[in-house]
Amino acid sequence: MTALDPAAAGPGSVPSQPFGARLSAAMDTHGPLCVGIDPHAALLQAWELADSVAGLETFAMRCVEAFAGEVACVKPQSAFFERHGSAGVAVLERVVAALREAGTLCLLDVKRGDIGSTMTGYAQAYVGQGPLAADAMTVSPFLGYESLRPALDLAAQYGRGVFVLALTSNPQGGAVQHAVPSDAAVGSRRSVAGDVVAGVRADNAAAARAGRLGDVGMVIGATVAQDVRRLGLDLAAANAPLLAPGVGAQGGSGRGLAQAVGAARVNILAASSREVLRAGPDRAALRSAAGATADRLALELRG
């Protein structure tokens, strides 16, 4: 395993490069794939593991051993660790630490969204200097984009990233994300998702001027890629990494997603969990599945 950034070896370290630059380098090396670690009960059973803390740890650390140094990014889903209580969170800490030690980017999928001091607390936990601090975290902007400011600012301070939900694939998402805010300018048809894109663009402007990928990304579901054009979202101008869940097993098309986002296709980081994890529990099979998926995605998204 080759460490991408030795300066980030400890939880209190500040990486020598900002998140967007590190992610670009990782995708150039390993391809545009982010593998999820999703130890839900059905997968534990499929791997013949107990739905317990011991089973959770075996599953999670086997994923780390298979993917560290092999893929651009690994995305543990916090909920599947939290459901086991404090012992499960302790396993998550070990996963984050192991990925950090290996030099593999860790995106912690927590989807936190709150205001004021509470948002600051979440930011300190996941993109600060504590034992759960990852390279990036997912956040929900639906209390208003500026409610995320504590996370955006702290992530920037420590060279970390933030992925903001913009267009999600759940059927209920469109009712919020496609809506036009009541305080929109007269004649404006900019949606809530459009406000998110505008906020991300502003936060990534300095990185764009420096000629590098921004540190504030967006989550764009591959299965709702058609909504990018329908809502008139200029994702390329946002200069943002685009985390795209739903490519592959969930029915999203890599080529369709690439066509929908246009010039922003080079910024896509496709998230895959089910398609890769079903190859387990054998480490070599997991690694092989990840490599094959990364190669396919590189052709679909970059070719």
What amino acid positions are annotated as catalytic residues?
A: 111
Backbone region of residue 108 per phi and psi (left: phi > 0; alpha: psi in -120 to 50; beta: other values): beta
Residue with tokens 């994702």: 235
What is the widest separation between alpha-carbon atoms in the chain? 58
The CA distance from 220 to 225, in Å, is 7
Strands 105-112 and 136-139 come out as parallel
The CA distance from 295 to 195, in Å, is 34
Give helix then strand counts, H and E, for the chain.
14, 8
The CA distance from 43 to 163, in Å, is 26
Asked if the peptide bond before residue 39 counts as cis, ω within 30 degrees of 0, the response is no
3 state DSSP class of 85 = coil
- Which residue from 268, 290, 270 is spatially nearest to 279, judged by alpha carbons? 290
Q: How far is residue 65 CA from its own chain's centroid?
A: 20
